[in-house]
């Protein structure tokens, strides 16, 4: 079976990256992470990639004249490794049309809330402060907005009475680690179809 070539962009600790790698190595995902790119030199995600023999690159956005030039360098690395799908995993920069046009409908992200509620930073704290009874996580296609792309899948997490933002975030993260590899497997199996903004999953 031909494996899906995955490229991951990450800025931090890379726990979702690790979940994807683990799913691949355990045979639960018909794909492999071919390359990891980070905008942070000290990102733990880069170390995780090295531990598994995955090509990894720190690309410093500050040395490029503009965002377009920076993203062109990212695109170059992704194409060098024949990436078919780009997964954002704690990548803390908005991507522009430059990257999105290079990989049309092939850039996905995971967000720690049930979008469209609580986009942006500190989504878990936003949900907790608002007093919702359920939060969760969302995998979505990326567009030029902030967490506004078409939703692929969601997993709900009940907010407990004794929760705080940190405990809620921990439980949501556990669901993220399950949902992201699952969605990538759907992509590997070519199970997604677009109808306008609706993403149809052709899977039981």
Q: How far apart are CA 99 and CA 179, in angstroms?
A: 24
Q: How far apart are CA 117 and CA 107, in angstroms?
A: 21
- Which one of 81, 111, 140, 177 is the catalytic residue? 111
Residue 187 has pLDDT above 80, yes or no: yes
- pLDDT tens-digit readout, 5-21: 999 999 999 999 999 99
Q: Can you tell me whether residue 26 is helix, strand or coil? A: coil
- pLDDT tens-digit readout, 67-93: 999 999 999 999 999 999 999 999 999
Tell me if 44 sits within 8 A of 14, measured CB to CB: yes
Structure tokens at 130: 């608002």
Give the fold, CATH level 3, of 4-201: Rossmann fold (3.40.50)
Q: How far apart are CA 55 and CA 85, in angstroms?
A: 16
Residue 204 has pLDDT above 80, yes or no: no
| pLDDT at 94 (0 to 100) | 95
| pLDDT at 92 (0 to 100) | 95
The Cα angle at residue 125 between residues 124 and 130, in degrees rounded to 5? 105
| pLDDT at 203 (0 to 100) | 77
- pLDDT tens-digit readout, 123-168: 999 999 999 999 999 999 999 999 999 999 999 999 999 999 999 9
- pLDDT tens-digit readout, 11-55: 999 999 999 999 999 999 999 999 999 999 999 999 999 999 999
| pLDDT at 160 (0 to 100) | 97
| pLDDT at 31 (0 to 100) | 98
**111 labelled catalytic:** yes
Radius of gyration (Cα) for the chain, nearest Å?
16
Tell me if 5 sits within 8 A of 33, measured CB to CB: no
Residue 1 has pLDDT above 90, yes or no: no
Q: How far apart are CA 93 and CA 3, in angstroms?
A: 28
């Amino acid at each position: 079976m031909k494996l899906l070539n995955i490229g991951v962009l990450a800025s931090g600790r890379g726990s979702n990256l690790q979940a994807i790698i683990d799913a691949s190595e355990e045979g639960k995902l018909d794909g492999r992470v071919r390359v990891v790119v980070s905008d942070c030199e000290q990102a733990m995600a880069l170390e995780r990639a090295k531990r598994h023999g995955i090509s990894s690159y720190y690309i410093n956005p500050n040395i490029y004249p503009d965002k377009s030039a920076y993203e062109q360098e990212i695109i170059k690395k992704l194409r060098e490794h024949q990436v078919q799908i780009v997964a954002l995993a704690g990548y803390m920069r908005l991507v522009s049309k430059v990257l999105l046009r290079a990989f049309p409908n092939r850039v996905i992200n995971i967000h720690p809330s049930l979008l469209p509620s609580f986009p942006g930073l500190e989504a878990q704290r936003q949900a907790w402060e608002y007093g919702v009874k359920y939060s969760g996580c969302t995998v979505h296609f990326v567009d030029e907005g902030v967490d506004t792309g078409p939703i692929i899948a969601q997993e709900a997490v009940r907010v407990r009475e004794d929760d705080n933002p940190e405990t809620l975030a921990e439980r949501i993260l556990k669901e993220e680690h399950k949902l992201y590899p699952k969605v990538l497997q759907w992509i590997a199996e070519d199970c997604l179809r677009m109808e306008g903004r609706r993403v149809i999953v052709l899977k039981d």
